[in-house]
Structure 1
Amino acid sequence: MYVRSIYATGDPATLDGVAEALRTEGRELLSAQPGYRGMGLFVDREVGKLLVGSWWEDEASRQASFESLGKRRDELISPFARTLAIDNWEAPVARRAEDLGPGAGFRLVRMDVEPGDIDLLVQTFRDTSLPKAQQVPGMSGISLLVDRERGRAAVGSLYTDREALAASRGAVAAIRGETTEKARVITRSLEEFEVVLATAVPHA
C-alpha cells in the first residue's frame, strides 16, 4: 500500500468549510480514481491544522491521481492553506480501522531514521510495537509509513473517541520509547487531531 499525505496550516476560522469540501467533493473525486483504497481527514481546529491521507494500491495509481486531481485539490484547499506540504509514503505495516468519523481521535508521530535502518524499524514495529499497541484500549487502527529515500517514518493511530486518545498517552509513550531504542529512530514530532473522516475501501 502507498499513501499521499497533505499537511496544511492556516486560519482556524476557514478550516471547517474546507474540511467539509474535502469530506464530500474531495472524497468523491478520490474514490473515482483507479487504485484508490481509502482516505483519512483530520483537523486541529484550535491551532488551524489540516491533514489528509489518501491510500493507493500502488505507486502508479498514487502518481496518476496526483496529476489528475492537482488543480481541483489546490482549489479546494486554498481558502484555508497558508502553508502546504505534500509527502509520499510506503505503508509496510497497516492495521486500518473500520469507518470512523467525528468524535474519533488520531495521533501522528513523525520520526527520522537512517535509510539503512528502515527495514529494522519495519521489523521492530511489526514484531514488537504492533502487538502491544493493539492491546491499548480504544485503539481502532495503526499504520507505519516510511520514506526510504529521505530517511523518514510516521506512525498514525486511530482511536474510537478523544477520551481513549487522551487515556492512551502513557501506554503509547512506553511503546514508542521501546521502539525508538530498538530501531534507532528519533521522534521528530507528535501531534493529535480530531477525525473528520477515516474510511477504507475493502479489497474485492
Structure 2
Amino acid sequence: MFVRTTYATGDPAKLDEAVRKLTTEGREPLEQTPGFRGAGVFVDRELGKLMIGTWWQDEEALRSSAERMGQLRSEMLSPFAATLTVDNWEAAVAQRAESVGEAARFRLTRVDFDPSHTDLMVDAFRDGVLPRLQAMPGFLGGSLLIDRAGGRGIVGAIYADRDTFAASRAPAAAMRGEVTTKTRATLRSVEEFEAVMVISAPPS
C-alpha cells in the first residue's frame, strides 16, 4: 500500500474546527474515493499541529486521488493551516490499528538514510522493532513508511492511552538508538500527538 501524509501547522485556537470538519463532513468524500483504504488524524492542540495519513491500495490509487484530495484539504483545513506539507510514501511494513479510543496517543519519528540502505531499514523494522512494539502494553499499531529514492522514512506508533504511551518512551528511545546505529540512519525528529480518528477500509 501507499500513504499520503499531510502535515499542517497553524493557530491552536483554530485547530478544533479543522478537526471537526475532517472527522465529519470530510469523511464521506474520503471514503468514497476509489482505492481508499484508511486514514488517521493526529493533533498537537497546544502547539497547533495536525498530521493526517491516508492509505491507498496501490500507487495508481495514490496518484489518481491527488487532485480530489487537494481540493478536500483546501476545504477542510482553511482557515487553520498557515503551513502545509504533503508527502507520498510506500508502506514498507505496517500493522494498522483498526480504530482508537478517545485516549489514544501517536508517536511520529522521522529518519533519513542512504537510499542503498533501504532494505536494511525495512528489515530492521520488520524483524526487530515491530515485534518488540507488539509486545508492549497498549500498542495498537505501527508502520514504517519510506521514500526509497529520497532516503527518507517515518515511523508511526499508536498506543491505547496516556499511561501506556508514557511507559513506551524509554524502550522506544532504546530502539531508535539501536536501529539508527545499525542502519547508519540520521534521526530527524520525534513528535507526539493525540490520535483523534483512525478508520480502516476493507480491500475491494
Is TM > 0.5 for Structure 1 vs Structure 2? yes
Q: Counterpart of 2:163?
A: 163
Q: Is this contact kept in 2: 1:101–1:198, CA < 8 A?
A: no
Q: CA deviation at 1:98?
A: 2.1
CA deviations on 1:113-157 (whole Å, 9 max, x unpaired) are 111111110011111111111111111100000001211000000
Q: Is this contact kept in 1: 2:101–2:160, CA < 8 A?
A: no
Matches within 5 A, 1:33-182: 33-182=33-182
CA deviations on 1:134-183 (whole Å, 9 max, x unpaired) are 11111110000000121100000000012211111001111121111111
Q: Counterpart of 1:30?
A: 30
3-state SS in 2 of match to 1:17: helix
Q: Is this contact kept in 1: 2:4–2:55, CA < 8 A?
A: yes
Q: What is the TM-score when the length of structure 1 is the normalising length?
A: 0.97
Q: Counterpart of 2:3?
A: 3
Q: Is this contact kept in 2: 1:162–1:194, CA < 8 A?
A: no
Deviates more, 1:18-27 or 1:38-47: 18-27
Q: Distance in 1 between matches of 2:37 and 2:90?
A: 14
Runs of 4+ in 1 over 4 A off after TM superposition: none
Deviates more, 1:175-184 or 1:64-73: 64-73
Q: Distance in 2 between matches of 1:62 and 1:101?
A: 28
Q: Percent identity?
A: 54
3-state SS in 2 of match to 1:25: coil
3-state SS in 2 of match to 1:75: helix
Q: What is the TM-score when the length of structure 2 is the normalising length?
A: 0.97
CA deviations on 1:6-48 (whole Å, 9 max, x unpaired) are 0000000000000110111222111001111000000000000
Q: Which stretches in structure 1 are left out of the alignment for 5+ residues?
A: none
Change (3 A) 1:166 1:153: same
Deviates more, 1:20-29 or 1:79-88: 20-29
Q: Distance in 2 between matches of 1:82 and 1:68?
A: 21
Q: Is this contact kept in 1: 2:93–2:145, CA < 8 A?
A: yes
3-state SS in 2 of match to 1:68: helix
Give the aligned length: 204
CA deviations on 1:46-79 (whole Å, 9 max, x unpaired) are 0000000000001111111111232232121121
Q: Distance in 2 between matches of 1:63 and 1:20?
A: 26
Deviates more, 1:81-90 or 1:24-33: 24-33
